[in-house]
Amino acid sequence: MVKCQVVMDALETIAPKRMAEEWDNPGLLVGALNQDIHKILVCLDVSDEVVEQAIEAGADMIVAHHPLIFRGIKKLRTDLPLGHRLQQLIKHDIAVVAAHTNLDIAEGGVNDVLAQAIGLSKLSSFVIERQDVDGSVLSMGRMGSLPAPMTVQDFARQVRDALPTEHVRLVDAGPRPVRKVALCSGSGAEFIQKAAFMGADVYVTGDVKYHEAQQAVEQGMHIIDAGHFGTEFPVVEVLKERLTEELAEAKGTVEVIADQSSRDFFTVV
């Protein structure tokens, strides 16, 4: 076993908390820093199914991408979903940690994992947020290139096949071949204008609305909406491996497992 603080230190190495956006709520959300940790479950969302999975697996910590607690809680109603979830976590002594926008921005984090999965290379910054303490650039999303130009239809199929999704939504802006790609995992439609300005042939993200798609077409840029889940879930397995590596040097042993059961809320019928 290791102390919760040891796991927090490992996460700090992978995705420093200082990188998170000001509005975000990463870090230890449930539990105590001196808590003993034997097994960690890594996931995207702390859902009821994930909590049950943690209980059945004997995990005493959940490391999630999305914060379980995001805004202030004025009531703890155990007859409502969040309250019941928190009750179960506390009852079974399961700590919960979130690495959200800090993991989006960090090198090797959500956006780098997405870029690698869909076949991009020569990665560079996309939306520059600010400078880190060492002077390096902190960027939300990535720009990258394909090895050779391809049609947007073929690239859309490549993205679909590379990610945990049964479908993607393609916004076809016309006969423009794809080589330069901008991406932002999760919900990144607010950066469509930025992607077009930087000369992206296609923008890969999730949660795109009708008028946002229209805006992209008017600027001659394709969009591939691979969904919030599809663009972010691949980091779960990678984070499990990185945590395992970081904790291998700790005094004590801890097992790290990845959520294998979660699926996208959206399906096509």
User: How does pLDDT run across 13-39, given as a tens digit for each residue?
Assistant: 999 999 999 999 999 999 999 999 999
Per-residue confidence at 250, pLDDT binned at 50, 70, 90? confident
Residue 141, pLDDT score: 96
Per-residue confidence at 247, pLDDT binned at 50, 70, 90? very high
Write the single-letter amino acid at 116: Q
Spell out the residues 6+ positions from residue 229 whose beta carbon is closer than 8 angstroms to its own.
44, 164, 165, 206, 262, 263, 264, 265, 266
Q: Is the pLDDT of residue 49 over 90?
A: yes
Per-residue confidence at 150, pLDDT binned at 50, 70, 90? very high
* Integer Cα distance of 218 and 156 in angstroms: 20
Q: Tell me the average pLDDT across 158-169.
A: 97
Q: Phi and psi for 13 in degrees, rounded to 5?
A: -70, -40
Residue 167, pLDDT score: 95
* Integer Cα distance of 138 and 192 in angstroms: 19
What is residue 13's three-state secondary structure? helix
Cα–Cα separations (whole angstroms), residue 156 to 147, 203, 223: 15, 11, 9
* Integer Cα distance of 9 and 14 in angstroms: 9
Closest CA to 205 of 197, 195, 215: 195
- Estimate the crossing angle of helix 110-117 against helix 235-247, to 10 degrees: 120
- Which pair of tokens denotes residue 112? 């780098």
Per-residue confidence at 69, pLDDT binned at 50, 70, 90? very high
User: Considering the chain, what is the average pLDDT of its residues?
Assistant: 96
Q: Phi and psi for 187 in degrees, rounded to 5?
A: -115, 95
Sheet architecture: strand order including 27-30: 27-30, 95-98, 61-64, 39-43, 255-258
**Domains by residue range for the chain, with CATH:** 2-100+233-257 (3.40.1390.30), 107-226 (3.40.1390.30)
Burial of 224 (C-beta count, 10 Å sphere; 0-12/13-18/19+): buried
The residue whose two tokens read 């996208």 is 264
Residue 71, pLDDT score: 87
Q: Is the pLDDT of residue 72 over 90?
A: no
Strand partners, 28: 97
Q: Is the pLDDT of residue 208 over 90?
A: yes
Q: Tell me the average pLDDT across 95-110.
A: 97
